Protein backbone atom coordinates (compact mmCIF):
# COMPACT_ATOMS: atom_id res chain seq x y z
CA UNK A 1 0.00 0.00 0.00
CA UNK A 2 1.31 3.43 -0.95
CA UNK A 3 1.81 5.74 2.03
CA UNK A 4 2.36 9.50 2.03
CA UNK A 5 3.98 11.26 4.98
CA UNK A 6 2.81 14.88 5.15
CA UNK A 7 5.20 17.07 7.17
CA UNK A 8 3.96 20.55 8.06
CA UNK A 9 6.68 23.20 8.38
CA UNK A 10 7.23 26.94 8.65
CA UNK A 11 10.65 28.65 8.61
CA UNK A 12 12.56 26.15 10.69
CA UNK A 13 14.97 24.44 8.27
CA UNK A 14 17.34 23.18 10.97
CA UNK A 15 14.55 21.18 12.61
CA UNK A 16 13.16 20.08 9.25
CA UNK A 17 16.59 18.75 8.32
CA UNK A 18 16.69 16.58 11.44
CA UNK A 19 13.19 15.31 10.68
CA UNK A 20 14.07 14.44 7.07
CA UNK A 21 17.17 12.59 8.27
CA UNK A 22 14.84 10.46 10.38
CA UNK A 23 12.66 9.60 7.40
CA UNK A 24 15.62 8.76 5.20
CA UNK A 25 16.68 6.23 7.87
CA UNK A 26 13.32 4.39 8.05
CA UNK A 27 13.44 0.62 7.82
CA UNK A 28 10.26 0.85 5.70
CA UNK A 29 11.20 2.84 2.57
CA UNK A 30 7.96 2.35 0.64
CA UNK A 31 6.51 5.82 1.10
CA UNK A 32 6.70 9.36 -0.22
CA UNK A 33 7.18 12.64 1.64
CA UNK A 34 5.24 15.83 1.03
CA UNK A 35 6.58 18.84 2.90
CA UNK A 36 3.50 20.99 3.54
CA UNK A 37 5.05 24.43 3.80
CA UNK A 38 2.97 27.22 5.33
CA UNK A 39 4.90 30.01 3.60
CA UNK A 40 8.58 29.51 4.45
CA UNK A 41 11.39 31.44 2.76
CA UNK A 42 13.95 30.29 0.19
CA UNK A 43 16.14 28.69 2.87
CA UNK A 44 13.57 25.99 3.46
CA UNK A 45 13.11 25.49 -0.28
CA UNK A 46 16.86 24.97 -0.75
CA UNK A 47 16.96 22.47 2.10
CA UNK A 48 14.11 20.45 0.60
CA UNK A 49 15.81 20.49 -2.81
CA UNK A 50 19.01 19.16 -1.22
CA UNK A 51 17.20 16.25 0.38
CA UNK A 52 15.12 15.59 -2.71
CA UNK A 53 18.32 15.18 -4.75
CA UNK A 54 19.85 12.70 -2.30
CA UNK A 55 16.82 10.78 -1.04
CA UNK A 56 16.06 7.18 -2.08
CA UNK A 57 12.34 8.03 -2.00
CA UNK A 58 10.15 10.80 -3.45
CA UNK A 59 10.12 14.17 -1.65
CA UNK A 60 7.80 16.93 -2.83
CA UNK A 61 7.43 20.52 -1.69
CA UNK A 62 3.86 21.85 -1.38
CA UNK A 63 4.04 25.57 -0.61
CA UNK A 64 1.54 28.35 0.02
CA UNK A 65 2.02 32.07 0.52
CA UNK A 66 2.71 33.23 4.07
CA UNK A 67 -0.59 34.71 5.22
CA UNK A 68 -0.52 33.70 8.86
CA UNK A 69 -0.96 30.28 10.46
CA UNK A 70 -2.94 28.22 7.92
CA UNK A 71 -2.01 24.65 8.76
CA UNK A 72 -5.45 23.32 7.75
CA UNK A 73 -5.14 24.72 4.23
CA UNK A 74 -1.59 23.53 3.54
CA UNK A 75 -2.45 20.03 4.78
CA UNK A 76 -5.45 19.96 2.45
CA UNK A 77 -3.23 21.02 -0.45
CA UNK A 78 -0.82 18.20 0.40
CA UNK A 79 -3.63 15.62 0.61
CA UNK A 80 -4.83 16.76 -2.82
CA UNK A 81 -1.28 16.49 -4.22
CA UNK A 82 -0.87 12.79 -3.43
CA UNK A 83 -2.63 9.68 -4.68
CA UNK A 84 -1.37 7.54 -1.79
CA UNK A 85 -4.00 5.31 -0.22
CA UNK A 86 -2.85 6.13 3.30
CA UNK A 87 -1.61 9.38 4.84
CA UNK A 88 0.55 9.98 7.92
CA UNK A 89 0.51 13.52 9.33
CA UNK A 90 3.38 14.93 11.34
CA UNK A 91 5.24 18.20 11.93
CA UNK A 92 8.57 19.58 10.83
CA UNK A 93 9.86 19.58 14.41
CA UNK A 94 8.97 15.95 15.19
CA UNK A 95 11.78 13.48 14.56
CA UNK A 96 10.63 9.89 13.88
CA UNK A 97 12.32 6.78 15.19
CA UNK A 98 13.49 4.40 12.47
CA UNK A 99 10.41 2.14 12.83
CA UNK A 100 7.86 4.98 12.68
CA UNK A 101 6.44 4.36 9.20
CA UNK A 102 6.59 0.58 9.60
CA UNK A 103 4.63 0.83 12.85
CA UNK A 104 1.88 2.93 11.28
CA UNK A 105 1.72 0.48 8.37
CA UNK A 106 1.46 -2.48 10.74
CA UNK A 107 -1.42 -0.90 12.70
CA UNK A 108 -3.46 0.66 9.88
CA UNK A 109 -6.86 -0.91 9.40
CA UNK A 110 -9.92 -0.01 7.30
CA UNK A 111 -12.54 1.80 9.35
CA UNK A 112 -9.98 3.34 11.73
CA UNK A 113 -7.60 6.27 12.02
CA UNK A 114 -4.46 6.10 14.17
CA UNK A 115 -3.26 8.55 16.79
CA UNK A 116 0.22 8.26 18.30
CA UNK A 117 2.08 10.19 20.97
CA UNK A 118 5.27 12.20 21.41
CA UNK A 119 8.24 12.76 23.66
CA UNK A 120 9.24 16.37 24.34
CA UNK A 121 12.87 17.45 24.22
CA UNK A 122 14.12 20.25 26.46
CA UNK A 123 15.26 23.58 25.04
CA UNK A 124 18.95 22.95 25.80
CA UNK A 125 18.90 19.41 24.46
CA UNK A 126 17.10 20.52 21.28
CA UNK A 127 19.80 23.10 20.62
CA UNK A 128 22.47 20.44 21.17
CA UNK A 129 20.76 17.94 18.86
CA UNK A 130 20.45 20.48 16.07
CA UNK A 131 23.87 22.13 16.42
CA UNK A 132 25.76 18.83 16.72
CA UNK A 133 23.55 16.90 14.29
CA UNK A 134 22.94 14.14 16.83
CA UNK A 135 21.07 11.25 15.10
CA UNK A 136 18.40 10.75 17.75
CA UNK A 137 16.30 8.83 15.20
CA UNK A 138 18.78 5.97 15.69
CA UNK A 139 18.67 5.95 19.49
CA UNK A 140 17.45 2.99 21.51
CA UNK A 141 16.03 2.67 24.99
CA UNK A 142 19.40 3.01 26.75
CA UNK A 143 20.17 6.39 25.18
CA UNK A 144 16.66 7.66 25.88
CA UNK A 145 16.75 6.43 29.47
CA UNK A 146 19.98 8.36 30.01
CA UNK A 147 18.40 11.42 28.39
CA UNK A 148 15.49 11.16 30.83
CA UNK A 149 17.83 10.90 33.80
CA UNK A 150 19.62 14.01 32.55
CA UNK A 151 16.36 15.96 32.24
CA UNK A 152 16.70 16.23 28.45
CA UNK A 153 13.26 14.72 27.73
CA UNK A 154 9.97 14.74 29.63
CA UNK A 155 9.27 10.97 29.69
CA UNK A 156 10.22 7.56 28.28
CA UNK A 157 6.87 5.79 28.74
CA UNK A 158 5.85 6.18 25.05
CA UNK A 159 8.84 3.98 24.15
CA UNK A 160 7.25 1.01 25.92
CA UNK A 161 5.36 -1.34 23.58
CA UNK A 162 1.64 -1.97 24.05
CA UNK A 163 0.07 -5.26 22.83
CA UNK A 164 -1.89 -4.70 19.63
CA UNK A 165 -4.96 -6.34 21.17
CA UNK A 166 -5.36 -3.34 23.51
CA UNK A 167 -5.71 -0.62 20.89
CA UNK A 168 -9.46 -0.32 20.31
CA UNK A 169 -10.67 0.44 23.80
CA UNK A 170 -11.70 4.06 23.09
CA UNK A 171 -13.03 4.13 19.52
CA UNK A 172 -14.88 7.44 19.99
CA UNK A 173 -12.18 9.30 21.90
CA UNK A 174 -11.14 12.46 20.08
CA UNK A 175 -9.29 14.18 22.91
CA UNK A 176 -5.51 14.04 22.66
CA UNK A 177 -5.29 13.20 18.97
CA UNK A 178 -2.80 15.57 17.35
CA UNK A 179 -1.52 15.98 13.81
CA UNK A 180 2.09 15.65 14.95
CA UNK A 181 1.34 11.90 14.92
CA UNK A 182 -1.91 11.00 13.18
CA UNK A 183 -2.73 8.80 10.20
CA UNK A 184 -5.79 7.84 8.15
CA UNK A 185 -6.91 6.43 4.84
CA UNK A 186 -7.03 9.13 2.18
CA UNK A 187 -10.52 8.08 1.09
CA UNK A 188 -11.75 8.66 4.67
CA UNK A 189 -10.16 12.11 4.71
CA UNK A 190 -11.89 12.90 1.42
CA UNK A 191 -15.22 11.64 2.78
CA UNK A 192 -15.16 14.22 5.59
CA UNK A 193 -13.72 17.01 3.43
CA UNK A 194 -10.28 17.03 5.04
CA UNK A 195 -9.33 19.82 7.42
CA UNK A 196 -11.67 22.76 7.99
CA UNK A 197 -9.85 25.87 6.78
CA UNK A 198 -12.14 28.16 8.75
CA UNK A 199 -9.74 27.42 11.61
CA UNK A 200 -6.90 29.92 11.30
CA UNK A 201 -4.21 30.58 13.84
CA UNK A 202 -2.85 27.90 16.14
CA UNK A 203 -5.06 25.22 17.61
CA UNK A 204 -7.86 22.66 17.37
CA UNK A 205 -8.17 22.13 13.61
CA UNK A 206 -6.90 18.60 14.26
CA UNK A 207 -9.55 17.99 16.93
CA UNK A 208 -12.22 19.16 14.49
CA UNK A 209 -11.02 16.65 11.88
CA UNK A 210 -10.98 13.76 14.35
CA UNK A 211 -14.48 14.54 15.63
CA UNK A 212 -15.84 14.48 12.09
CA UNK A 213 -14.01 11.22 11.27
CA UNK A 214 -15.59 9.56 14.32
CA UNK A 215 -18.98 10.96 13.35
CA UNK A 216 -18.47 9.36 9.92
CA UNK A 217 -17.94 5.97 11.66
CA UNK A 218 -14.15 6.07 11.26
CA UNK A 219 -13.03 4.96 14.71
CA UNK A 220 -10.00 5.82 16.82
CA UNK A 221 -7.34 3.13 17.05
CA UNK A 222 -4.65 3.88 19.61
CA UNK A 223 -1.11 3.95 18.16
CA UNK A 224 0.48 5.11 21.42
CA UNK A 225 3.30 2.94 22.72
CA UNK A 226 4.19 1.91 19.19
CA UNK A 227 5.37 4.85 17.08
CA UNK A 228 6.25 7.96 19.13
CA UNK A 229 7.87 11.05 17.64
CA UNK A 230 10.55 13.14 19.33
CA UNK A 231 9.32 16.72 19.50
CA UNK A 232 12.04 19.35 19.28
CA UNK A 233 11.54 22.30 21.61
CA UNK A 234 10.26 25.61 20.24
CA UNK A 235 8.80 28.78 21.74
CA UNK A 236 5.05 28.65 22.25
CA UNK A 237 3.08 29.52 19.13
CA UNK A 238 0.92 32.63 18.96
CA UNK A 239 -2.37 31.55 20.53
CA UNK A 240 -4.33 34.74 19.97
CA UNK A 241 -6.93 32.87 17.88
CA UNK A 242 -7.22 29.90 20.24
CA UNK A 243 -10.33 31.14 22.06
CA UNK A 244 -12.12 31.75 18.77
CA UNK A 245 -11.11 28.28 17.57
CA UNK A 246 -12.27 26.77 20.86
CA UNK A 247 -15.71 28.31 20.43
CA UNK A 248 -15.85 26.92 16.91
CA UNK A 249 -14.94 23.45 18.18
CA UNK A 250 -17.62 23.63 20.90
CA UNK A 251 -20.20 24.35 18.22
CA UNK A 252 -18.94 21.36 16.21
CA UNK A 253 -19.39 19.10 19.23
CA UNK A 254 -23.06 20.04 19.31
CA UNK A 255 -23.57 19.56 15.56
CA UNK A 256 -24.12 16.47 13.40
CA UNK A 257 -22.35 17.21 10.11
CA UNK A 258 -19.26 15.29 8.99
CA UNK A 259 -17.93 17.50 6.19
CA UNK A 260 -15.66 20.51 6.61
CA UNK A 261 -17.38 23.84 5.96
CA UNK A 262 -14.33 24.99 3.96
CA UNK A 263 -12.30 21.94 3.12
CA UNK A 264 -10.54 19.62 0.73
CA UNK A 265 -13.18 19.54 -1.99
CA UNK A 266 -12.00 22.80 -3.54
CA UNK A 267 -8.65 21.21 -4.52
CA UNK A 268 -9.89 17.87 -5.89
pLDDT of residue 251: 76
Regions in the chain scoring below 50 on pLDDT: none
- Phi, psi (rounded to 5 degrees) for 32: -120, 160
pLDDT digits (tens, 9 = 90+) for 75-131: 999 999 999 999 999 999 999 999 999 999 999 999 999 999 999 999 999 999 999
Domain positions in the chain:
3-267
Distance CA 33, CA 233 (A): 23
- Is-contact 31 59, C-beta < 8 A? no
pLDDT number for residue 242: 67
User: 18: which residues sit within 8 A by CB, 6+ positions away?
Assistant: 95, 129, 130, 133, 136, 137, 232
Given the candidates 1.10.150.120, 3.90.550.10, 3.30.360.10, 2.20.28.270, the CATH classification of the domain at 3-267 is 3.90.550.10
Within 10 A of 165 (CB to CB), how many other CB atoms are there? Answer: 7
Whose CA is closest to 25, among 55, 2, 59, 61? 55
State the pairing for strand pair 94-96/181-185: unpaired
Residue 164 pLDDT: 81
CB crowding 36-73: b at 16 or more within 10 Å, else e: bbbbbeeebeebbeebbeebeeebbbbbbeeeebbbbb
> How many CB atoms are located within 10 Å of the residue 218 CB?
23
pLDDT value for 70: 94
Amino acid sequence: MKIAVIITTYNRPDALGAVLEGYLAQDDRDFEILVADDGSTEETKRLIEKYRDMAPLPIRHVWQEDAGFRAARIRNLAIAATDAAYVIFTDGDCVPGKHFVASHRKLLEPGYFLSGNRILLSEAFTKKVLSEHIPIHEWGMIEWALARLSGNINRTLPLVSLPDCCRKGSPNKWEGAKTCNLSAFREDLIEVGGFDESYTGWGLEDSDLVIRLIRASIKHKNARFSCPVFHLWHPENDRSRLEENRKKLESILGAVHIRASLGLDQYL
